[in-house]
Structure 1
């Protein structure tokens, strides 16, 4: 039932309110009362635009009016957008609206006094207003009947959802119900005057709730603390928690025993877990090292992600659509399940065609939602999840094959994705008691090059495609620096990362030898030319042998620079890599086709 004061306050303006009598057997849709004050919004618009809207058949469903300088005015409705006349917006039209609304604050928003309408401005580089978005504000009484039982529990509520789904409308109605029906002391932190309207007198849609305005958006967290310290509220209502300071202020308020009702940027709880700024609202995340026995009991690695603290909000509501909400009655339980790569089983509350609330269980998400894209368990994935496995990636016919046919190489590569790697690691003792072979996960390094080094030098290394099987990660330093997710996954699994400076044979060789603990000699030994050849033809072998002899017989013993014979770019690149093996510098000079290599002493 609507509170008598709220009904009385809304009764006089019959032109702007759609009010239905309350009967005991009415459905939810029949009990809703919508107040929009559309006449006050139309009053600020130029006459020609106002006349087009007043004659439109969907006038009562208007969402917003868009006015951009030099463009046709546009009215937006739930299912369509229409132009309002054929005259572009002029500076006089914009000024006509600006003169009839309140002051534009630091967030470029203004309002119409004692209404819920929002006027947002677009400015040019000099600060002049060149566009307006006139958003229709509505108070919908009865819209939170789906979660009325949760509001009455006294627990903190967090509303999530995309823009325009109705979060602020629901927040306004929750504040009214708590203040009028449950007789609680409610204080609204109204940063942009969107909850209780513009002006010093709040809109009657919030009932007996009190409203505190915020001078500028960056001061919202200070006003939140001030409300608790000065006005002794039982409930604090906050719209759009978006910064770390606001999240910390919300936790401080919750720990003082005050009920919180707020909204946050994010569509689902998983979005908050991935957001380091707001993850504290649902408890926060920290890495925890388990004992051997506990890790075996859980069937996970020793380092896992755990919830850091109790959630600031005990109940979370994901507003997928205006009349389709997902309810997590125990946020701490939901977060714990997500951190273990499980599938929570929340309530799904909808309104059917008869206006009745239906409660069911939300179907599980597919694929399962794991935190930050990786699992907290050691379960191996037998099938890939990439483009090739999804069927969206079609093979390209290689050179030498007929168009439209798949080569034997591509066929074998496709099949290899469906062959799970063995979960058992075969180990043999090394010369100093090490466990060989070493399982390496390469990232950003040419697989053919690393396989070439392993084969020619006969290194006890096995390449793996599964990070959970790896003993060590070998990656380009630039990729490690710019890929925080790789660093985090390796840290969770306690796998060391070895950086390779460049994707060259000498750098890869040194990194692999360092992993195996092979002491590098102070003077590089004679290079194996097979490491640096691509095709292995006579010209390549001759050029590499020339470079090797020049280094070993002139540059190193005599300390003199040497110029080699002119070679093609491909061959010169191999010579550069060979010189790098000896830790010497080389340079190409001259013009093609006489461009050649010059090797410098150390």
Structure 2
């Protein structure tokens, strides 16, 4: 099935009044998602801008028309379309009735990971960070295909929401020869992660959206068994992950340490400091906050140590020009902001409670 045919399958579940508008829209190929909320105008969100599709307000009948053409919503209020990568999420009222739909377009994008091929070939685990909608799932789907088809690795995908390999028992062709394990309930994701290692002899495990302490612990177990782990997590930066008490163990964790007076004088700090608790689960980290500009921390342990000390971590910026040519430059965090914030972070035991990111 081609990408155009995939998109047509999504358009088919929309109310008739919207279908023709999307089919003939000049920005159809850059469509990201369609939002339909009861009593509001339907809205399309493209890569460059959002716009209303119609002056007609969404009715109960419109929502009912769409939901009847979907698979059953799971416990996380997500559903899919058979043999496609699209994801439909619902909003419910207090009575459990669907009053809103977010129809996100899923695409298999080929040749999009050449900028991080060296990380794949290293055989080491790495983490992909980024805000929702920036392209993390699209990236891990292509990573799975490249590892399985081109590098001939044994790849197993833990597909909790069926978003990587599609909403069907037959995986979408976008993942190549990689295998996919489905998860019956979101709270069982960590168990399926361990099951994959114990039962299916993977060389690589791919997991989208590590979000709980149990999943973080399972990721650590997988890494300790010598399996390459590629995962994603929500977070703008490595610094935001360090602040997250649930997920900080993915990058080594954080602990308070009391040092001697002499050592405190030598460092120019207070006696109570923050240090990394242990080795990180992931060797490298990729900050995916822009589709054409990525930040790569080649050594997560070094970057975390420097952040906790209030120093400037070194990282790579990998940019793509309009012709998809890659350029790599070595950068530091702005010293005017990082150093002062890092020192405050070291002296504040309640630094995680601060809503502002310190980096």
Same fold per TM (> 0.5)?
Answer: yes
Offset at residue 154 of structure 1 (A): 0.4
**Which structure has the bigger radius of gyration?**
1
**Structure 2: tracts of 5 or more residues without a match:** 355-359
CA distance in 2, matches of 1:162, 1:370: 26
Decide which of 212, 224, 228 is 1:243's aligned counterpart.
212
TM-score normalised by L of structure 2: 0.92
Aligned pairs for 1:264-303 within 5 A:
264-303=233-272
Aligned match of 1:231: 200
> Is the counterpart of residue 102 in structure 1 residue 87 in structure 2?
no
Decide which of 117, 120, 128 is 1:151's aligned counterpart.
120
Task: Name the CA shift for 1:87/1:303 in 2 (closer, same or farther; >3 Å).
Answer: closer
> Is the counterpart of residue 55 in structure 1 residue 7 in structure 2?
no
Offset at residue 369 of structure 1 (A): 5.3
Decide which of 338, 347, 356 is 2:316's aligned counterpart.
347
Task: Name the CA shift for 1:486/1:209 in 2 (closer, same or farther; >3 Å).
Answer: closer
Which contiguous aligned blocks of 4+ residues in structure 1 show a shift greater than 6 angstroms? Answer: 370-373
Aligned match of 2:92: 123
Partner deviation per Cα, 1:573-596 (whole Å, 9 max, x = no partner): xxxxxxxxxxxxxxxxxxxxxxxx
Report the 3-state secondary structure (helix = DSSP H, G, I; strand = E; otherwise coil) of the residue aligned with 1:260.
Answer: strand
Task: Name the CA shift for 1:310/1:363 in 2 (closer, same or farther; >3 Å).
Answer: closer
Task: Name the CA shift for 1:376/1:125 in 2 (closer, same or farther; >3 Å).
Answer: closer
Aligned match of 2:344: 374
Aligned match of 1:307: 276
Aligned match of 2:106: 137
CA distance in 1, matches of 2:314, 2:353: 31
Q: Is the 8 A contact 1:338 1:371 kept in 2?
A: no
Report the 3-state secondary structure (helix = DSSP H, G, I; strand = E; otherwise coil) of the residue aligned with 2:109.
Answer: strand
Offset at residue 89 of structure 1 (A): 1.9
CA distance in 1, matches of 2:131, 2:55: 33
Offset at residue 88 of structure 1 (A): 2.0
CA distance in 2, matches of 1:80, 1:181: 36
TM-score normalised by L of structure 1: 0.56
Q: Is the 8 A contact 1:274 1:371 kept in 2?
A: no
CA distance in 1, matches of 2:266, 2:86: 57
Report the 3-state secondary structure (helix = DSSP H, G, I; strand = E; otherwise coil) of the residue aligned with 2:139.
Answer: helix
Partner deviation per Cα, 1:265-302 (whole Å, 9 max, x = no partner): 21111111111111100101122233455445444444
Report the 3-state secondary structure (helix = DSSP H, G, I; strand = E; otherwise coil) of the residue aligned with 1:374.
Answer: helix
Decide which of 123, 129, 134 is 1:165's aligned counterpart.
134
CA distance in 1, matches of 2:233, 2:124: 17
Offset at residue 159 of structure 1 (A): 0.4
CA distance in 1, matches of 2:6, 2:69: 15
Higher relative contact order (CA 8 A, sep 6+): 2
Q: Is the 8 A contact 2:311 2:342 kept in 1?
A: no
Partner deviation per Cα, 1:393-442 (whole Å, 9 max, x = no partner): xxxxxxxxxxxxxxxxxxxxxxxxxxxxxxxxxxxxxxxxxxxxxxxxxx
CA distance in 2, matches of 1:62, 1:342: 41
How many aligned positions are there? Answer: 353
Q: Is the 8 A contact 1:342 1:370 kept in 2?
A: no
Report the 3-state secondary structure (helix = DSSP H, G, I; strand = E; otherwise coil) of the residue aligned with 1:137.
Answer: coil
Partner deviation per Cα, 1:105-126 (whole Å, 9 max, x = no partner): 0011000011010111111111
Task: Name the CA shift for 1:486/1:108 in 2 (closer, same or farther; >3 Å).
Answer: closer
Report the 3-state secondary structure (helix = DSSP H, G, I; strand = E; otherwise coil) of the residue aligned with 1:198.
Answer: coil
CA distance in 2, matches of 1:253, 1:272: 20
CA distance in 2, matches of 1:330, 1:307: 14
Q: Is the 8 A contact 1:251 1:312 kept in 2?
A: yes
Q: Is the 8 A contact 1:240 1:265 kept in 2?
A: yes
Aligned match of 2:61: 92
Aligned pairs for 1:199-218 within 5 A:
199-218=168-187
Q: Is the 8 A contact 1:338 1:370 kept in 2?
A: no
